Amino acid sequence: MQSITPCLWFDNNAEEAVNFYASIFEDLKILKVSRFGEAGFELHGKKPGTAMTIEFELKGQKFTALNGGPMFKFTEAISFQVGCDTQEEIDRYWDKLTEGGDPNAQQCGWLKDKFGLSWQIVPNVLGDLMTGSDAQERVMEALLQMKKLDIEALKKAHAG
């Protein structure tokens, strides 16, 4: 049983966000949706029937999405890494997650989706490429020039 569950705080679009992520990650399962009722309206101001929390699972990890209001925003201090085996996977996740997101993608495989959540789309081989002092320097130099990561360019940098 998982003892720590990340909670993603949204303003009013938690359900839209979870459905967006479900359209990208085939194995996302919505486990439970709790909805606001009449009780507490004077505090939360949410229309009855609006999703309050959505419990979901992605790749075996449970999450909670919360419609908590506009007080808190996502920052780059927290991001989710998506490990990819192929360039096709990197391209697919990158293209889908950047749809409607921040057009000024950050370097080193980081992006921000349309909900402001940061993701890093990385090849699973990156750790192996970052070994050996000379190779590590070359790979890091190549990596710092990239926004979306290119596996073949990283492998070439590793090879020298």
pLDDT of residue 3: 87
Q: Which fold has domain 79-159?
A: 2,3-Dihydroxybiphenyl 1,2-Dioxygenase; domain 1 (3.10.180)
Euclidean distance between CA atoms 124 and 86, whole angstroms: 9
Please give the order of strands across the beta sheet that includes 7-10.
7-10, 61-67, 51-58, 29-35
Q: Could you report the per-residue pLDDT of 92-137, keeping only the tens digit for each?
A: 999 999 999 987 778 899 999 999 999 999 999 999 999 877 899 9
Region 25-40 average pLDDT = 95
DSSP for residue 48: T
Q: What amino acid occupies position 127? A: G
Q: How does pLDDT run across 79-100, given as a tens digit for each residue?
A: 999 999 999 999 999 999 999 9
* 118-123 and 79-84 strand pairing: parallel
- Point out the least confidently predicted range of 7-11, 53-57, 68-72: 68-72
**Predicted pLDDT of residue 43:** 81
**Token pair belonging to 150:** 């290119």
Both structure tokens of 38: 């009449």
Check if the beta carbon of residue 76 is closer than 8 Å to that of residue 65: no
**The pLDDT of residue 13:** 96
pLDDT of residue 117: 96
CA–CA separation, 93 and 36 (whole Å): 32
State the span(s) of the chain assigned CATH 3.10.180.10: 79-159
pLDDT the model gives residue 41:
83
**In whole angstroms, how far apart are CA 69 and each of 4, 43, 96, 155?**
23, 11, 26, 44
The architecture in CATH of the region 7-67 reads 2-Layer Sandwich (3.30)
Alpha helices in the chain (DSSP H): 14-24, 41-44, 87-98, 126-129, 133-143, 151-159
- Whole-number pLDDT of residue 106: 82
The pair of three-digit structure tokens given for residue 81, joined into one six-digit string: 């890494």
Instruction: Outline which parts of the chain fall under CATH 3.30.720.100.
Output: 7-67
In this prediction, residue 159 carries a pLDDT of 92
Whether 152 shows a pLDDT value over 80: the answer reads yes
What's the mean pLDDT when you consider all of the chain? 93
